[in-house]
Structure 1
Amino acid sequence: MSVPQTRKAGLPLMKLIRLKGIPILQQLELEEQLLRTSSDNWCIVNDGTNNPNIVMGISGKPAELLDIELVLRDQVPVIKRFTGGGTVTVDHGTIFVTFICNRDAVPGLQLYPRPIMSWSSQLYSRVFEIFGDFHLRENDYVFGNRKFGGNAQSITKNRWIHHTSFLWDYEVKNMAYLKLPKRVPEYRLARDHLEFICRMKDYMPRSVFIDKTVEAVSTEFSVISEHTDQFKTSSNFEPSTRLLTRQELKEVASQLESPLSQSLFL
Protein backbone atom coordinates (compact mmCIF):
# COMPACT_ATOMS: atom_id res chain seq x y z
CA MET A 1 0.00 0.00 0.00
CA SER A 2 1.37 3.41 -0.96
CA VAL A 3 1.00 6.39 1.34
CA PRO A 4 0.10 9.79 -0.13
CA GLN A 5 3.02 12.21 0.14
CA THR A 6 0.84 15.29 0.59
CA ARG A 7 -0.05 17.05 3.81
CA LYS A 8 -3.67 16.91 4.96
CA ALA A 9 -4.83 20.31 6.17
CA GLY A 10 -5.45 20.48 9.90
CA LEU A 11 -3.87 17.12 10.73
CA PRO A 12 -0.53 16.73 12.52
CA LEU A 13 2.31 15.23 10.52
CA MET A 14 3.35 11.64 11.21
CA LYS A 15 6.36 10.04 9.57
CA LEU A 16 5.88 6.36 8.69
CA ILE A 17 8.71 3.82 8.66
CA ARG A 18 7.81 0.41 7.21
CA LEU A 19 10.29 -2.36 7.94
CA LYS A 20 10.34 -6.07 7.19
CA GLY A 21 12.21 -8.57 9.32
CA ILE A 22 14.44 -6.05 11.09
CA PRO A 23 16.01 -7.53 14.27
CA ILE A 24 13.92 -6.49 17.25
CA LEU A 25 16.96 -5.17 19.13
CA GLN A 26 17.72 -2.81 16.25
CA GLN A 27 14.09 -1.71 16.12
CA LEU A 28 13.97 -0.97 19.86
CA GLU A 29 17.21 1.00 19.69
CA LEU A 30 15.76 3.07 16.84
CA GLU A 31 12.55 3.67 18.75
CA GLU A 32 14.41 4.83 21.84
CA GLN A 33 16.57 7.17 19.79
CA LEU A 34 13.53 8.71 18.07
CA LEU A 35 11.75 9.14 21.41
CA ARG A 36 14.73 10.84 23.04
CA THR A 37 16.24 12.87 20.20
CA SER A 38 13.54 13.59 17.60
CA SER A 39 10.79 16.20 17.71
CA ASP A 40 8.65 14.51 15.04
CA ASN A 41 5.75 12.07 15.33
CA TRP A 42 6.56 8.57 14.11
CA CYS A 43 4.78 5.34 13.29
CA ILE A 44 7.00 2.28 12.88
CA VAL A 45 5.67 -0.96 11.40
CA ASN A 46 8.03 -3.94 11.41
CA ASP A 47 6.62 -7.02 9.69
CA GLY A 48 8.31 -9.79 11.69
CA THR A 49 11.76 -10.11 13.17
CA ASN A 50 14.53 -12.49 12.23
CA ASN A 51 15.14 -15.17 14.87
CA PRO A 52 13.21 -15.88 18.08
CA ASN A 53 13.99 -13.35 20.81
CA ILE A 54 12.60 -12.79 24.28
CA VAL A 55 11.80 -9.16 25.10
CA MET A 56 11.30 -8.08 28.72
CA GLY A 57 10.13 -4.82 30.26
CA ILE A 58 12.67 -2.55 31.89
CA SER A 59 11.87 -3.85 35.38
CA GLY A 60 11.45 -7.52 34.41
CA LYS A 61 13.31 -10.15 36.43
CA PRO A 62 14.52 -13.15 34.39
CA ALA A 63 14.29 -15.58 37.32
CA GLU A 64 10.59 -14.82 37.74
CA LEU A 65 9.61 -14.56 34.08
CA LEU A 66 11.74 -17.05 32.14
CA ASP A 67 12.53 -20.74 32.13
CA ILE A 68 16.24 -19.99 32.33
CA GLU A 69 17.27 -23.59 31.70
CA LEU A 70 15.45 -23.69 28.36
CA VAL A 71 16.63 -20.21 27.38
CA LEU A 72 20.27 -21.17 28.01
CA ARG A 73 19.91 -24.54 26.36
CA ASP A 74 18.44 -23.07 23.17
CA GLN A 75 20.60 -19.92 23.30
CA VAL A 76 17.63 -17.59 22.87
CA PRO A 77 18.59 -13.88 23.04
CA VAL A 78 16.97 -11.98 25.93
CA ILE A 79 16.46 -8.23 25.55
CA LYS A 80 15.55 -5.68 28.20
CA ARG A 81 13.72 -2.86 26.45
CA PHE A 82 13.54 0.74 27.61
CA THR A 83 9.79 0.67 28.31
CA GLY A 84 7.67 -1.09 30.90
CA GLY A 85 5.16 -3.84 30.22
CA GLY A 86 5.37 -7.60 30.14
CA THR A 87 7.53 -10.28 28.57
CA VAL A 88 7.00 -11.71 25.11
CA THR A 89 8.65 -14.18 22.75
CA VAL A 90 8.85 -12.68 19.26
CA ASP A 91 9.86 -14.08 15.89
CA HIS A 92 8.91 -13.97 12.19
CA GLY A 93 5.24 -14.41 13.17
CA THR A 94 5.15 -11.20 15.22
CA ILE A 95 4.11 -7.85 13.74
CA PHE A 96 5.26 -4.74 15.59
CA VAL A 97 3.52 -1.35 15.48
CA THR A 98 4.87 1.64 17.40
CA PHE A 99 3.65 5.21 17.86
CA ILE A 100 6.10 7.87 19.05
CA CYS A 101 4.36 11.21 19.51
CA ASN A 102 4.66 14.70 20.91
CA ARG A 103 2.38 15.51 23.82
CA ASP A 104 0.08 17.64 21.62
CA ALA A 105 -0.09 15.19 18.69
CA VAL A 106 -3.52 13.85 19.73
CA PRO A 107 -5.80 16.73 20.78
CA GLY A 108 -7.10 16.38 24.33
CA LEU A 109 -5.13 13.22 25.09
CA GLN A 110 -3.97 13.05 28.68
CA LEU A 111 -0.45 11.68 28.96
CA TYR A 112 -1.13 8.77 31.27
CA PRO A 113 -1.03 5.05 30.42
CA ARG A 114 -4.78 4.42 30.50
CA PRO A 115 -5.82 7.31 28.19
CA ILE A 116 -3.10 6.36 25.70
CA MET A 117 -4.29 2.74 25.78
CA SER A 118 -7.86 3.91 25.22
CA TRP A 119 -6.82 6.06 22.25
CA SER A 120 -4.89 3.19 20.68
CA SER A 121 -7.79 0.76 21.12
CA GLN A 122 -10.13 3.18 19.37
CA LEU A 123 -7.70 3.41 16.46
CA TYR A 124 -7.38 -0.38 16.22
CA SER A 125 -11.13 -0.85 16.49
CA ARG A 126 -11.26 0.57 12.95
CA VAL A 127 -8.67 -1.97 11.84
CA PHE A 128 -10.54 -4.94 13.31
CA GLU A 129 -14.13 -3.77 12.82
CA ILE A 130 -15.06 -6.72 10.60
CA PHE A 131 -12.48 -9.19 11.95
CA GLY A 132 -13.38 -10.86 15.23
CA ASP A 133 -14.69 -9.55 18.54
CA PHE A 134 -11.99 -6.96 19.27
CA HIS A 135 -11.62 -5.37 22.71
CA LEU A 136 -9.10 -3.72 24.99
CA ARG A 137 -9.04 -5.83 28.15
CA GLU A 138 -6.90 -4.37 30.90
CA ASN A 139 -3.66 -3.69 28.93
CA ASP A 140 -4.15 -6.27 26.19
CA TYR A 141 -5.80 -6.44 22.78
CA VAL A 142 -8.07 -9.46 22.57
CA PHE A 143 -10.49 -11.27 20.32
CA GLY A 144 -13.21 -12.37 22.73
CA ASN A 145 -11.22 -13.34 25.80
CA ARG A 146 -8.00 -14.42 24.08
CA LYS A 147 -4.99 -12.14 23.80
CA PHE A 148 -3.23 -11.40 20.51
CA GLY A 149 -1.55 -8.07 21.25
CA GLY A 150 0.67 -6.99 24.15
CA ASN A 151 1.49 -3.34 24.80
CA ALA A 152 4.23 -1.30 26.42
CA GLN A 153 4.62 2.43 26.95
CA SER A 154 6.95 5.14 28.12
CA ILE A 155 5.96 8.73 28.82
CA THR A 156 8.45 11.59 29.06
CA LYS A 157 7.89 15.27 29.74
CA ASN A 158 7.03 16.16 26.15
CA ARG A 159 6.71 12.85 24.30
CA TRP A 160 5.29 9.34 24.59
CA ILE A 161 5.69 5.96 22.97
CA HIS A 162 3.18 3.13 22.67
CA HIS A 163 4.33 -0.09 21.05
CA THR A 164 2.56 -3.35 20.43
CA SER A 165 3.66 -6.88 19.59
CA PHE A 166 0.91 -8.54 17.56
CA LEU A 167 0.83 -12.35 17.47
CA TRP A 168 -0.12 -12.93 13.86
CA ASP A 169 1.32 -16.41 14.37
CA TYR A 170 3.51 -18.17 16.93
CA GLU A 171 5.36 -21.42 17.43
CA VAL A 172 4.14 -23.40 20.42
CA LYS A 173 7.66 -24.38 21.48
CA ASN A 174 8.66 -20.72 21.83
CA MET A 175 5.95 -20.14 24.42
CA ALA A 176 7.69 -22.62 26.76
CA TYR A 177 10.40 -20.05 27.49
CA LEU A 178 7.93 -17.94 29.48
CA LYS A 179 6.81 -18.60 33.03
CA LEU A 180 3.42 -17.57 34.33
CA PRO A 181 4.10 -14.12 35.85
CA LYS A 182 3.13 -13.32 39.43
CA ARG A 183 0.80 -10.58 38.27
CA VAL A 184 -1.60 -11.62 35.52
CA PRO A 185 -4.72 -9.98 34.05
CA GLU A 186 -7.92 -10.91 35.88
CA TYR A 187 -9.54 -12.08 32.65
CA ARG A 188 -6.81 -14.71 32.20
CA LEU A 189 -8.64 -16.86 34.80
CA ALA A 190 -5.68 -19.17 35.49
CA ARG A 191 -5.53 -20.31 31.86
CA ASP A 192 -2.16 -21.56 30.63
CA HIS A 193 -0.37 -19.62 27.93
CA LEU A 194 -1.75 -21.50 24.93
CA GLU A 195 -5.34 -21.22 26.19
CA PHE A 196 -4.85 -17.52 26.88
CA ILE A 197 -3.51 -16.36 23.50
CA CYS A 198 -4.68 -16.70 19.90
CA ARG A 199 -3.31 -16.21 16.40
CA MET A 200 -4.34 -13.22 14.32
CA LYS A 201 -3.94 -15.28 11.15
CA ASP A 202 -7.14 -17.11 12.12
CA TYR A 203 -9.00 -13.80 11.78
CA MET A 204 -7.42 -11.77 8.97
CA PRO A 205 -4.64 -11.76 6.34
CA ARG A 206 -1.30 -10.34 7.38
CA SER A 207 -1.07 -7.72 4.62
CA VAL A 208 -4.65 -6.59 5.28
CA PHE A 209 -3.82 -5.89 8.91
CA ILE A 210 -0.80 -3.78 8.01
CA ASP A 211 -2.62 -1.84 5.28
CA LYS A 212 -5.66 -1.17 7.45
CA THR A 213 -3.43 0.01 10.29
CA VAL A 214 -1.79 2.56 8.00
CA GLU A 215 -5.25 3.61 6.78
CA ALA A 216 -6.46 4.08 10.37
CA VAL A 217 -3.41 6.20 11.23
CA SER A 218 -4.07 8.29 8.13
CA THR A 219 -7.48 9.31 9.49
CA GLU A 220 -5.83 11.10 12.44
CA PHE A 221 -2.49 12.18 10.97
CA SER A 222 -1.03 13.44 7.75
CA VAL A 223 1.18 10.43 7.02
CA ILE A 224 4.39 10.69 5.00
CA SER A 225 6.59 7.67 4.31
CA GLU A 226 10.28 7.82 5.18
CA HIS A 227 13.00 5.73 3.59
CA THR A 228 14.49 3.20 5.98
CA ASP A 229 18.10 3.34 4.81
CA GLN A 230 18.69 6.63 6.62
CA PHE A 231 17.63 5.25 10.00
CA LYS A 232 20.60 3.92 11.87
CA THR A 233 21.17 4.53 15.54
CA SER A 234 23.61 7.36 16.08
CA SER A 235 27.03 6.51 17.46
CA ASN A 236 26.53 9.38 19.91
CA PHE A 237 23.31 7.90 21.31
CA GLU A 238 23.54 5.21 23.96
CA PRO A 239 20.26 3.29 24.23
CA SER A 240 19.24 1.76 27.55
CA THR A 241 17.69 -1.16 25.65
CA ARG A 242 20.22 -3.97 25.81
CA LEU A 243 20.88 -7.65 25.25
CA LEU A 244 21.41 -9.60 28.46
CA THR A 245 24.70 -11.47 28.39
CA ARG A 246 24.93 -15.22 28.63
CA GLN A 247 26.95 -14.74 31.82
CA GLU A 248 24.09 -12.78 33.38
CA LEU A 249 21.67 -15.56 32.54
CA LYS A 250 24.07 -18.20 33.87
CA GLU A 251 24.29 -16.33 37.15
CA VAL A 252 20.49 -16.36 37.40
CA ALA A 253 20.50 -20.08 36.63
CA SER A 254 23.11 -20.80 39.28
CA GLN A 255 21.01 -19.01 41.89
CA LEU A 256 18.06 -21.27 41.10
CA GLU A 257 20.23 -24.21 42.21
CA SER A 258 18.83 -26.92 39.98
CA PRO A 259 21.07 -29.76 38.71
CA LEU A 260 20.55 -28.79 35.07
CA SER A 261 21.31 -25.13 35.67
CA GLN A 262 24.49 -26.09 37.52
CA SER A 263 25.64 -28.15 34.52
CA LEU A 264 24.80 -25.28 32.15
CA PHE A 265 26.84 -22.94 34.32
CA LEU A 266 30.01 -25.08 33.91
Structure 2
Amino acid sequence: MELILLPLSWACLASELLELGFVLRDEVPVIRRFTGGGTVIVDHGTIFVTLICNKDDVPGVQPYPRSIMSWSGLLYGQVLRGIGDFQLRENDYVFGDRKFGGNAQSITKNRWIHHTSFLWDYEVKNMAYLKLPARAPEYRSARDHSEFICRVKEYLPRSLFVEKTTKALETHFSLQPVNSETIGAVHEGGFVHTTSLLTKQELKDALASSLESIAHSS
Protein backbone atom coordinates (compact mmCIF):
# COMPACT_ATOMS: atom_id res chain seq x y z
CA MET A 1 0.00 0.00 0.00
CA GLU A 2 1.28 3.45 -0.87
CA LEU A 3 0.74 6.72 0.99
CA ILE A 4 1.83 10.32 0.55
CA LEU A 5 3.74 12.45 3.05
CA LEU A 6 3.03 16.17 2.81
CA PRO A 7 5.06 18.82 4.70
CA LEU A 8 3.06 20.69 7.34
CA SER A 9 3.87 24.09 5.85
CA TRP A 10 2.60 23.00 2.42
CA ALA A 11 -0.53 21.13 3.47
CA CYS A 12 -2.72 24.04 2.44
CA LEU A 13 -1.17 23.79 -1.05
CA ALA A 14 -2.12 20.14 -1.58
CA SER A 15 -3.76 20.93 -4.91
CA GLU A 16 -0.47 22.41 -6.18
CA LEU A 17 1.54 19.36 -5.14
CA LEU A 18 -0.79 16.44 -5.79
CA GLU A 19 -3.04 15.16 -8.56
CA LEU A 20 -5.95 15.15 -6.13
CA GLY A 21 -8.36 13.52 -8.57
CA PHE A 22 -6.13 10.44 -8.80
CA VAL A 23 -5.41 10.48 -5.05
CA LEU A 24 -9.13 10.52 -4.21
CA ARG A 25 -10.00 7.95 -6.87
CA ASP A 26 -7.44 5.46 -5.57
CA GLU A 27 -8.00 6.36 -1.90
CA VAL A 28 -4.32 7.01 -1.26
CA PRO A 29 -3.75 8.23 2.34
CA VAL A 30 -2.13 11.67 2.63
CA ILE A 31 -0.23 12.40 5.83
CA ARG A 32 0.72 15.92 6.88
CA ARG A 33 4.06 15.62 8.66
CA PHE A 34 5.55 18.16 11.04
CA THR A 35 8.94 18.40 9.32
CA GLY A 36 9.75 20.41 6.21
CA GLY A 37 11.07 19.02 2.95
CA GLY A 38 9.10 18.06 -0.12
CA THR A 39 6.20 15.77 -0.95
CA VAL A 40 7.04 12.06 -0.80
CA ILE A 41 5.22 9.02 -2.15
CA VAL A 42 5.86 6.13 0.23
CA ASP A 43 5.48 2.39 -0.25
CA HIS A 44 7.24 -0.87 0.63
CA GLY A 45 10.31 0.29 -1.31
CA THR A 46 11.02 3.33 0.89
CA ILE A 47 13.75 3.25 3.55
CA PHE A 48 13.56 5.84 6.33
CA VAL A 49 16.50 7.02 8.41
CA THR A 50 15.74 9.56 11.14
CA LEU A 51 18.33 11.16 13.41
CA ILE A 52 17.00 12.81 16.59
CA CYS A 53 19.82 14.65 18.33
CA ASN A 54 20.50 17.06 21.16
CA LYS A 55 22.26 20.16 19.88
CA ASP A 56 25.63 19.09 21.34
CA ASP A 57 25.50 15.43 20.28
CA VAL A 58 27.58 15.92 17.13
CA PRO A 59 30.71 18.06 17.64
CA GLY A 60 30.92 20.91 15.17
CA VAL A 61 27.31 20.64 14.04
CA GLN A 62 25.15 23.64 14.86
CA PRO A 63 21.33 23.43 15.12
CA TYR A 64 20.85 25.12 11.76
CA PRO A 65 19.66 23.56 8.48
CA ARG A 66 22.84 24.11 6.47
CA SER A 67 25.16 22.82 9.20
CA ILE A 68 23.10 19.67 9.73
CA MET A 69 22.72 19.07 5.99
CA SER A 70 26.44 19.46 5.33
CA TRP A 71 27.28 16.98 8.08
CA SER A 72 24.71 14.52 6.75
CA GLY A 73 26.33 14.71 3.33
CA LEU A 74 29.64 13.69 4.89
CA LEU A 75 27.93 10.88 6.81
CA TYR A 76 26.35 9.35 3.72
CA GLY A 77 29.54 10.02 1.83
CA GLN A 78 31.05 7.39 4.16
CA VAL A 79 28.16 5.03 3.46
CA LEU A 80 28.37 5.40 -0.31
CA ARG A 81 32.10 5.88 -0.80
CA GLY A 82 33.07 4.41 -4.16
CA ILE A 83 29.45 3.70 -5.10
CA GLY A 84 28.03 5.69 -8.00
CA ASP A 85 28.70 9.42 -8.15
CA PHE A 86 27.27 10.33 -4.75
CA GLN A 87 26.74 14.02 -4.01
CA LEU A 88 24.70 16.30 -1.78
CA ARG A 89 22.98 18.67 -4.20
CA GLU A 90 20.61 21.40 -3.05
CA ASN A 91 19.56 19.37 0.01
CA ASP A 92 19.07 16.14 -1.96
CA TYR A 93 21.21 13.00 -2.07
CA VAL A 94 21.96 12.13 -5.68
CA PHE A 95 23.93 9.78 -7.87
CA GLY A 96 25.12 12.10 -10.62
CA ASP A 97 22.05 14.22 -11.34
CA ARG A 98 19.46 11.66 -10.20
CA LYS A 99 17.87 11.97 -6.78
CA PHE A 100 17.52 8.95 -4.51
CA GLY A 101 17.15 10.58 -1.09
CA GLY A 102 15.05 13.50 0.10
CA ASN A 103 15.52 15.26 3.44
CA ALA A 104 13.34 17.01 5.98
CA GLN A 105 14.25 18.71 9.24
CA SER A 106 12.73 20.08 12.40
CA ILE A 107 14.88 22.22 14.70
CA THR A 108 14.22 23.60 18.17
CA LYS A 109 16.51 25.46 20.55
CA ASN A 110 18.13 22.35 21.98
CA ARG A 111 17.30 19.49 19.61
CA TRP A 112 17.04 18.68 15.94
CA ILE A 113 15.66 15.99 13.65
CA HIS A 114 17.12 15.09 10.29
CA HIS A 115 14.86 12.72 8.38
CA THR A 116 15.64 11.04 5.07
CA SER A 117 13.38 9.08 2.72
CA PHE A 118 15.54 6.81 0.56
CA LEU A 119 14.10 5.50 -2.70
CA TRP A 120 15.29 1.94 -2.37
CA ASP A 121 12.66 1.06 -4.97
CA TYR A 122 9.45 2.62 -6.27
CA GLU A 123 6.50 1.94 -8.54
CA VAL A 124 6.62 4.18 -11.61
CA LYS A 125 2.82 4.37 -11.70
CA ASN A 126 2.77 6.00 -8.26
CA MET A 127 4.59 9.04 -9.59
CA ALA A 128 1.32 9.99 -11.32
CA TYR A 129 0.02 11.17 -7.93
CA LEU A 130 2.63 13.93 -7.79
CA LYS A 131 2.66 17.17 -9.73
CA LEU A 132 5.88 18.83 -10.83
CA PRO A 133 6.41 21.27 -7.92
CA ALA A 134 6.64 24.99 -8.58
CA ARG A 135 9.58 25.13 -6.17
CA ALA A 136 12.14 22.61 -7.36
CA PRO A 137 15.94 22.40 -7.14
CA GLU A 138 17.74 24.05 -10.01
CA TYR A 139 19.55 20.86 -11.00
CA ARG A 140 16.19 19.19 -11.70
CA SER A 141 15.93 21.31 -14.86
CA ALA A 142 12.15 20.73 -15.09
CA ARG A 143 12.64 16.98 -15.64
CA ASP A 144 9.65 14.77 -14.92
CA HIS A 145 9.84 12.24 -12.11
CA SER A 146 10.99 9.34 -14.29
CA GLU A 147 14.01 11.35 -15.49
CA PHE A 148 14.79 12.90 -12.11
CA ILE A 149 14.91 10.03 -9.61
CA CYS A 150 16.66 6.67 -9.36
CA ARG A 151 16.60 3.54 -7.22
CA VAL A 152 19.24 2.81 -4.58
CA LYS A 153 18.86 -0.92 -5.29
CA GLU A 154 20.49 -0.37 -8.68
CA TYR A 155 23.73 0.51 -6.88
CA LEU A 156 24.02 -1.86 -3.90
CA PRO A 157 22.09 -4.57 -2.03
CA ARG A 158 19.66 -3.44 0.66
CA SER A 159 21.46 -5.43 3.38
CA LEU A 160 24.77 -3.76 2.47
CA PHE A 161 23.18 -0.30 2.52
CA VAL A 162 21.78 -0.93 6.01
CA GLU A 163 25.10 -2.38 7.21
CA LYS A 164 27.17 0.51 5.88
CA THR A 165 24.72 3.10 7.26
CA THR A 166 24.88 1.46 10.69
CA LYS A 167 28.68 1.43 10.65
CA ALA A 168 28.82 5.09 9.63
CA LEU A 169 26.45 6.05 12.46
CA GLU A 170 28.56 4.08 14.94
CA THR A 171 31.43 6.50 14.30
CA HIS A 172 29.28 9.23 15.90
CA PHE A 173 26.84 7.44 18.20
CA SER A 174 26.49 4.41 20.44
CA LEU A 175 23.78 2.30 18.80
CA GLN A 176 21.40 -0.10 20.50
CA PRO A 177 18.61 -2.03 18.75
CA VAL A 178 15.08 -1.22 19.97
CA ASN A 179 11.93 -3.10 18.98
CA SER A 180 8.79 -1.36 17.75
CA GLU A 181 6.79 -2.34 20.86
CA THR A 182 9.20 -0.36 23.05
CA ILE A 183 8.87 2.69 20.81
CA GLY A 184 5.08 2.43 21.01
CA ALA A 185 5.19 2.37 24.80
CA VAL A 186 7.24 5.58 24.86
CA HIS A 187 4.69 7.33 22.63
CA GLU A 188 1.91 6.62 25.12
CA GLY A 189 3.47 9.01 27.60
CA GLY A 190 1.56 12.15 26.66
CA PHE A 191 3.33 12.84 23.37
CA VAL A 192 1.63 15.63 21.40
CA HIS A 193 1.17 14.55 17.78
CA THR A 194 1.58 17.21 15.12
CA THR A 195 1.59 14.74 12.23
CA SER A 196 -1.91 13.97 11.00
CA LEU A 197 -3.84 12.10 8.35
CA LEU A 198 -5.75 14.42 6.03
CA THR A 199 -9.40 13.48 5.76
CA LYS A 200 -11.12 12.69 2.49
CA GLN A 201 -13.22 15.82 2.99
CA GLU A 202 -10.11 17.99 3.33
CA LEU A 203 -8.78 16.58 0.07
CA LYS A 204 -12.14 17.08 -1.66
CA ASP A 205 -12.27 20.67 -0.42
CA ALA A 206 -8.75 21.31 -1.72
CA LEU A 207 -9.70 19.88 -5.12
CA ALA A 208 -12.91 21.92 -5.28
CA SER A 209 -11.03 25.09 -4.36
CA SER A 210 -8.48 24.39 -7.08
CA LEU A 211 -11.15 23.81 -9.72
CA GLU A 212 -12.96 26.98 -8.65
CA SER A 213 -9.74 28.97 -8.92
CA ILE A 214 -9.13 27.61 -12.42
CA ALA A 215 -12.68 28.50 -13.46
CA HIS A 216 -12.30 32.07 -12.21
CA SER A 217 -9.00 32.55 -14.01
CA SER A 218 -10.28 31.28 -17.37
Flag whether TM exceeds 0.5 (same fold): yes
Q: 2:32 aligns with which of 80, 83, 99?
A: 80
Structure 1 Cα separation of the partners of residues 153 and 178 of structure 2: 28
Structure 2 Cα separation of the partners of residues 256 and 156 of structure 1: 34
Q: How many aligned positions are there?
A: 208
Match for residue 227 of structure 1? 179
Is 1:155–2:103 an aligned residue pair?
no
TM-score normalised by the chain length of structure 1: 0.76
Match for residue 187 of structure 1? 139
Is 1:52–2:6 an aligned residue pair?
no
Q: 1:97 aligns with which of 43, 46, 49?
A: 49
Q: Secondary structure, in 3 states, of the residue corresponding to 2:136?
A: coil
Q: 2:85 aligns with which of 127, 133, 143?
A: 133
Q: Secondary structure, in 3 states, of the residue corresponding to 2:176?
A: strand
Is 1:247–2:171 an aligned residue pair?
no
| Structure with the higher helix share, 1 or 2 | 2
1:168 to partner: Cα distance: 0.7
Structure 2 Cα separation of the partners of residues 82 and 134 of structure 1: 28
After superposition, the CA RMSD in angstroms is: 1.1
Match for residue 146 of structure 1? 98
Structure 2 Cα separation of the partners of residues 66 and 117 of structure 1: 26
Give per-residue Cα distances to partners, 1:121-171, cap 9 Å, x unaligned: 101011111211100000100000000000000000110000000001100
Q: Identity of paired residues, percent?
A: 63
1:228 to partner: Cα distance: 2.6
Structure 2 Cα separation of the partners of residues 189 and 230 of structure 1: 44
Structure 1 Cα separation of the partners of residues 104 and 48 of structure 2: 11
Please say if residues 5 and 32 of structure 2, whose CA atoms lie closer than 8 Å, have aligned partners that are also in contact.
yes
Structure 2 Cα separation of the partners of residues 199 and 63 of structure 1: 27
Structure 2 Cα separation of the partners of residues 87 and 79 of structure 1: 10
Q: Secondary structure, in 3 states, of the residue corresponding to 2:190?
A: coil
Structure 2 Cα separation of the partners of residues 187 and 200 of structure 1: 19
TM-score normalised by the chain length of structure 2: 0.93
1:235 to partner: Cα distance: 5.8
Q: Secondary structure, in 3 states, of the residue corresponding to 1:76?
A: coil
Q: 1:207 aligns with which of 150, 156, 159?
A: 159
1:226 to partner: Cα distance: 2.2
Is 1:175–2:102 an aligned residue pair?
no
Q: Which runs of 4+ in 1 moved over 4 A?
A: none
1:55 to partner: Cα distance: 0.2
Instruction: Tell me which amino acid in the other structure corresponds to 2:104.
Output: A
Gap regions ≥5 residues in structure 1:
1-50, 259-266
Please say if residues 63 and 109 of structure 2, whose CA atoms lie closer than 8 Å, have aligned partners that are also in contact.
no
Q: Secondary structure, in 3 states, of the residue corresponding to 2:165?
A: helix
Give per-residue Cα distances to partners, 1:161-198, cap 9 Å, x unaligned: 00000001100111110001111100001111110001
Give per-residue Cα distances to partners, 1:78-104, cap 9 Å, x unaligned: 000011110010100000000000000
1:54 to partner: Cα distance: 0.3
Is 1:216–2:168 an aligned residue pair?
yes
Structure 1 Cα separation of the partners of residues 198 and 57 of structure 2: 34
Q: Secondary structure, in 3 states, of the residue corresponding to 2:35?
A: coil
1:65 to partner: Cα distance: 0.3
1:238 to partner: Cα distance: 2.5
Change (3 A) 1:74 1:131: same
